[in-house]
Amino acid sequence: MIDPIYEKLPGALNARSMAYPAVKCKEFYDLVTFLFTPEEAATFVAMPLGLATVEEIAENLSMKDLKKLAGQLETMADKGLIHIRDRSGKKLYEALPFVPGITEYQLMRGIVDERHKKIATLLRDYSKAMINTLMSTNPPPMEFHAPGKKVAVDREIEHKSTIVPFKELKDLIMDTEYISVGTCICRHQAALLGKPSDKPVNNCMVLGESAKFAAERGFTTRLTKEEAIKRIEEAEDAGLIHTFANSPDLYSNLLCNCYKDRCMIIKGVSKSPVPSLAVNARWVVQINEDDCTACEACIPRCQMDALKMVEGKLVRDEKRCIGCGICVWTCPADAMTLEQRPAAKIPLKS
Ligand code: SF4
Ligand code: SF4
């Protein structure tokens, strides 16, 4: 028999973000009863949207012992269920959505033990059950993009991933005070489930205020700007696409560096008939025919199948190109450049 408080968690999680919706099913309860104690679930449900003081949360819980509640909130922050922000010396608390937030924090430490193997299994099983549940929703009021599928959910998805090529990312890093890095959650989850990746894994980055929280709580390690750029160059060499959650510290400025064999988002985008519309594609590649030697080195680097040879000439499919720039990095003849799409006029940072 499941404590009825867990029934209220989907509403509390989905009110924060629907990027990875919470839907009621056996696998959801298996996951949340593993992550939250009943007391933590009750506190989470009582937390107002956005930042709140311990007094405000205590009032919603009709709880008088502020010290006990503050201690519980500290434990929840260490478990990656909530954020704690410092505002002029006062602690403010914020409940997190599944994504971006709780899911990433469960695996970013890169720990290999029985608890984390269990979490990897629970997340895998819940993802499958969530997609199946949403697929059977009828009628579909809105669309949710799952790998290669469109699934209905009952409210708007506000989260859209943004593809950021190396040059733009370098500028963003130079302009960001706090950067930290953890283990790629997709590749770590796959490794915990027996499918390790041959790509570098320590390149899942957090930028901005959430980076400070994540490093202080041991989810990530702080990087200098130079170290961060070096990690991005390593990711570029490995053909990993830089994807930014584009939510300027609403919950976390999460920068993924991943590829379609391991990343649910990139896999879904690559299966779309128009990948450039499935993400926030800010750039598109251009080929300088005079410089191109038709060496074909760029073709296998493109995860969107946007490049091919036609009668001895390299051509690109503009609809399939998401402007990741991974091909540009590879070209030995410097025959490729990136050109702005209209989305690139929107600043990455507010
Ligand atoms: S063509 Fe180049 S820039 Fe466009 S999606 Fe493929 S690898 Fe990325
Ligand atoms: S890597 Fe450069 S030179 Fe080689 S085919 Fe691609 S664009 Fe042409």
Q: Candidates 292, 324, 331, 340: which one to mutate for ligand 1, based on the most atoms within 8 Å of Cβ? A: 324
Residue 136's pLDDT is what?
A: 80
For the Cβ of 306 lying below 6 angstroms from any atom of ligand 2, the answer is no
Domain boundaries, the chain: 4-128, 162-268, 279-345
Q: Of residues 68 and 346, which shows the higher confidence score?
A: 68
Report whether 214 contacts 207 (CB < 8 A).
no
pLDDT tops 50 at residue 157: no
Mean pLDDT, residues 204-221 taken together: 94
Whole-angstrom distance, CA of residue 313 vs CA of residue 324: 21
- Report the Cα–Cα distance between both ends of the chain, in Å, rounded: 46
pLDDT tops 80 at residue 53: yes
Do domains 4-128 and 279-345 share one topology? The answer is: no
Ligand nearest to the CA of 279: 1
Whole-angstrom distance, CA of residue 88 vs CA of residue 84: 13
Report whether 337 contacts 328 (CB < 8 A).
yes
**pTM of whole model > 0.85?**
yes
Ligand nearest to the CA of 326: 1
For the Cβ of 285 lying below 6 angstroms from any atom of ligand 1, the answer is yes
From residue 196, give the alpha-carbon distance in Å to each of 101, 116, 127: 23, 15, 19
* pLDDT tens-place string over residues 232-288: 999 999 999 999 876 656 677 889 999 998 888 899 899 999 999 999 999 999 999
Highest averaged pLDDT of the listed ranges 150-154, 171-175, 323-327: 323-327
For the Cβ of 306 lying below 6 angstroms from any atom of ligand 1, the answer is yes
Domain 279-345 has CATH 3.30.300.30: no
Report whether 243 contacts 256 (CB < 8 A).
yes
Band (pLDDT 50/70/90 cuts) for residue 61 is very high
C-alpha of residue 47 to centroid of ligand 1, in Å: 43
Q: Where are the alpha helices (DSSP H) in the chain?
A: 9-14, 26-35, 38-46, 54-61, 66-78, 103-107, 114-135, 166-174, 185-192, 209-216, 225-237, 264-271, 275-278, 326-330
Which range among 31-35, 127-131, 304-308 shows the weakest confidence by mean pLDDT?
A: 127-131
C-alpha of residue 162 to centroid of ligand 2, in Å: 25
pLDDT tops 70 at residue 148: no
pLDDT above 70: percentage of residues in the chain:
91
Buried b / exposed e over 281-320, threshold 16 CB at 10 Å, is bbbbbebeeeebeeeeebeeebbbebbeeeeeebebeebb
C-alpha of residue 294 to centroid of ligand 2, in Å: 5
CB atoms within 10 A of CB 224: 10
C-alpha of residue 173 to centroid of ligand 2, in Å: 28
Write the Ramachandran bin of 311: left for phi over 0, alpha for psi from -120 to 50, otherwise beta.
left
From residue 317, give the alpha-carbon distance in Å to each of 111, 171, 208, 285: 41, 27, 35, 9
Which residue has a Cα nearest atom 8 of ligand 1?
A: 324
Whole-angstrom distance, CA of residue 332 vs CA of residue 295: 9
For the Cβ of 294 lying below 6 angstroms from any atom of ligand 2, the answer is yes
Residue 249's pLDDT is what?
A: 61
CB atoms within 10 A of CB 222: 16
Q: Of residues 151 and 75, which shows the higher confidence score?
A: 75
For the Cβ of 319 lying below 6 angstroms from any atom of ligand 1, the answer is no
Which residue has a Cα nearest atom 4 of ligand 2?
A: 295
Report whether 229 contacts 205 (CB < 8 A).
no
C-alpha of residue 164 to centroid of ligand 2, in Å: 21
CATH number of this structure's domain 4-128, picked from the four choices 1.10.10, 2.60.40, 3.30.70, 1.10.3470:
1.10.10
For the Cβ of 296 lying below 6 angstroms from any atom of ligand 2, the answer is yes
For the Cβ of 315 lying below 6 angstroms from any atom of ligand 2, the answer is no
C-alpha of residue 307 to centroid of ligand 2, in Å: 10
C-alpha of residue 328 to centroid of ligand 2, in Å: 9
For the Cβ of 331 lying below 6 angstroms from any atom of ligand 2, the answer is yes
